[in-house]
Structure 1
Amino acid sequence: MGLFDIFKTQWSAGKMTPDDRKKLFWYLKRRTSYTAWKRAADAFDAFAVIFKKQIVEEPHAKGLMDGTYWEPYYSEILKAQVLYEQGLELLLQGDRNVWLYNDRGILGDAGTIANSWYSELVNNGARGDHFYDGKYVDEMTDAIKVFDIASRDAGYIQSMMADAPAPECWTTFWHDTFAKLPIPGQLPDVPIPTSEVLIKTNDEVAVFGIYEPQVKDGCMNYLLAGAPAPKLEVTDGTYVVGQPISVTWRLIWEDTRYFDGAIPEEESLYFPIETKIAKPAVVPTLPDSQPSAATGEPCPQSGNWVVLDDINGKQAFQKGERLPQYQGRDVIWLLVSS
């Protein structure tokens, strides 16, 4: 330690124990893993299968009022599925920009659509006045609840609010959380950085990874490269007790997972078999894959098609017809009904 190091702000233990710190590090790696995101995407796929059954078997569900016409909503479901698929493919290449709040943050976009259906079916919309009719509504509601649980275990998306504090802070909440997790009995020590990377609140985060605020009981957080480093909630180790404060964040672990396309072996233990989200069985009346084609390609099947990134861009095409641009740009078209 240099002479002036004693004057630097540093992490120190209060109510957080070394064992707590190990568990927190494990938790952050688990939550930002490919496995956690794949589990959430699989849960949404299971919901989408039931949604499609509703469209196929009862496209217009009669109710007290006009009932529910389900087909117009299906393009949203397809878009979320495609975004999850694309995002997972990029993540498995080590591209974590899919978590940012910009045009590359496609996992955030997927989650926005998927979570909107939790709001609609479980909370009856933002104002509680949306109600849906259909033979599979109860089953869809149960499935979206399963998705919600899985999505809470998946990752950190850059906040839309520039001044949002770090998502995690140290309180007694963590002891309840740890008790419910399949944490291995023997955890490795939290790594000691080989080089010193310090970032102050509002500075741009240098690399994706786990950072630790240099204050008493500073709670590690996973920070996103390119985003501004956040403030930290003030706690007394039990409760949040004040307004968020500016801190210095120290890089503990740079996330270099998946650059080789491999999933670390430890991820097989993140979600025990009894809590894994099963891949949905294919409904016999449905095609194995959703037809899609790009601008300039011949339409492979007659029917109604939508633009992947604009659910309002719905048009009817005949088989063999050249698919056009949409609003002056090349797009991907998805078949929603034939």
Structure 2
Amino acid sequence: MNEYDMQDDATRRKVFWLLQRLTSLSLWKAKHSAFKVFAAAYETAVRTWPRTDPEPPSADHLKTVHEILSLYDEGLNELARGHRFVWREGQALNRAIDRFNYLAKYFYTNSKHWERGGQIEPYPPKVDALARLMHASQVQKEYVPLEIWGTYYNFAYLQLPNGLLDRDAYNHTFYKLAFPNFPEVLPEVLPEVPNPSGPVIQSGQTVPCDGIWEPVTIEQSRVLNVIPLGAKLFGNNGCFNYFVADTAAPNLEGFDSATFSSTIVPTHWRLLWEDTRYANGIIPDESQYFLDPPEPTELANREAGELVRTGDICPVSGEWNTEEYGGKTVQVGRRRAHAGPVGQGQAIRHE
């Protein structure tokens, strides 16, 4: 995977926007809608699957499927009123994710395709079609607002931004999750990340409000309450996370190279943005979270084999070779065709 710097402005803006998206009512409603499509298809499959087919879906899963639908109904009604406790342990949307994970884990337990709670081989085609519908309701890192609870370590869900920003992370071997489309190609148009002075809490303390929090180091001058003019009060200490009010602020995860084990790294957390969306039932326009991928341009649709000349705009990135000068090959991006070592002449793209 690529590495991303949480002190880089473009990276910070993208992570901030993605956390707002992951905790939006619109995204969770979209998850619900997609799961309803799967639920209808699965129920039909259970009812109509040929008796002679050795690959039937389990009717036992229908109870879990209906439970998840009910939890979505309950949780979305609360979230639409700005009640984000639905992501706390034991609450509706937290339980919906838990039950979904159970369903996905035991979806098809044929020993040729499944072992010890995990898929090891591609499912048979008809089963795979149902599994794809199930995963269509899943969103990368959808669990980020859930309460971190029940372990001694209590590590923050997001230690690094890679799982959000790297396309490779969306490939889960037997299925892929959709990569979100940002409002514009250039990250500079994304909202600027706020730079407030607080509030600041420590790992283990109670989170005072819903929102996006940044792990930070505190400058010594801040600790001593002596703040020189223009001094930087906080230093970034990792990836932003989303916390729900009245939960415990988590730790960061370290690594002990001597024992090859994780270590607890307490940190300070600074509130970047308090989430007050949907108060009084007011739902803002959230269409930016579901932008269609940019349509290919006419140039990008050109067939492989089309000729371009030096100085022309390169229609697509790829491997091109010249018909002159011995047929040399170059790798060219979407820019003007490079004359360079292949000389002045025509180039043709390979598939």
Q: Aligned partner of 1:199: which letter?
A: I
Shift of 1:143: 1.0
Q: What are the residue-to-residue correspondences of 1:11-160 with 2, within 5 Å?
A: 16-58=7-49, 61-62=51-52, 70-102=58-90, 105-121=91-107, 124=114, 126-127=116-117, 137-148=127-138, 150=139, 152-153=141-142, 155-160=144-149
Match in the other structure for 1:295? none
Q: Which of 246, 266, 273 is 2:266 aligned to?
A: 246
Residue 150 of structure 2: which of 154, 161, 168 is its match?
A: 161
Change (3 A) 1:125 1:96: farther
How many Å separate the matches in 2 of 1:209 and 1:191?
A: 12
Structure-1 residue corresponding to 2:213: 211
Q: Percent sequence identity over matched residues?
A: 28
Name the SS for the 1:184 alignment partner: coil
Q: Helix, strand or coil for the counterpart of 1:94?
A: coil
Question: TM-score under structure 1 normalisation?
Answer: 0.63
Aligned CA distance change for structure 1 residues 41 and 168 (closer, same or farther; 3 Å): same
Cα pair 2:46 2:56 within 8 Å, conserved: no
Q: Point out 4+ residue stretches in structure 1 off by more than 6 angstroms.
A: none
Match of 2:246 in 1: 226
1:190 and 2:193 matched: yes
> One-letter code of the match for 1:269?
Q
Change (3 A) 1:152 1:229: closer
The size of the alignment, in residue pairs, is 249
- The correspondence for 2:166, drawn from 176, 179, 194, is 176
Residues 211, 252 of structure 1: 8 Å contact kept: yes
For residues 66-112 of structure 1, give each alpha carbon's deviation from its aligned partner in whole angstroms, at most 9, with x where no partner exists. x758444322211110111111111111111110013xx11121122
Greater alpha carbon shift after TM alignment, 22-31 vs 120-129: 120-129
**Are the structure 2 counterparts of residues 62 and 262 from structure 1 closer, same or farther at C-alpha, using a change threshold of 3 Å?**
farther
Q: Is the 8 A contact 2:214 2:236 kept in 1?
A: no
Contact 1:32/1:154 (8 A) holds in 2: no
CA distance in 2, matches of 1:18, 1:178: 22
Which shifted more, 91-100 or 70-79?
70-79
User: Relative contact order: is structure 1 or structure 2 higher (C-alpha 8 Å, sep ≥ 6)?
Assistant: 1
| 1:40 Cα deviation from its structure 2 partner | 1.6
The 8 Å contact of residues 64 and 103 in structure 2, kept in 1 or not, is answered as no
**Cα distance change, pair 114–151 in 1 and its aligned pair in 2 (3 A):** farther
1:243 aligned partner, one-letter code:
T
Amino acid at match of 2:181: P
Are 2:251 and 2:264, in contact at CA under 8 Å, matched by a contact in 1?
Answer: yes
Q: Tell me, what secondary structure is at the counterpart of 2:214?
A: strand
Aligned to 2:191, the other structure's residue is in SS state coil
- For the 8 Å contact 2:148–2:248, the answer to whether it is kept is no
Which of 194, 201, 208 is the aligned partner of 1:199? 201
TM-superposed deviation, 1:49: 0.7
Which letter maps to 2:166? D
> What is the RMSD of the two structures over their aligned residues, measured on CA atoms?
3.5
Offset of residue 56 of structure 1? 2.8
Give the Å deviation of 1:45: 1.0
| Rg larger in structure | 2
CA offsets per residue over residues 231-265 of structure 1, 9 Å max, x none?
A: 12359xxxxx9734111111111111111323322
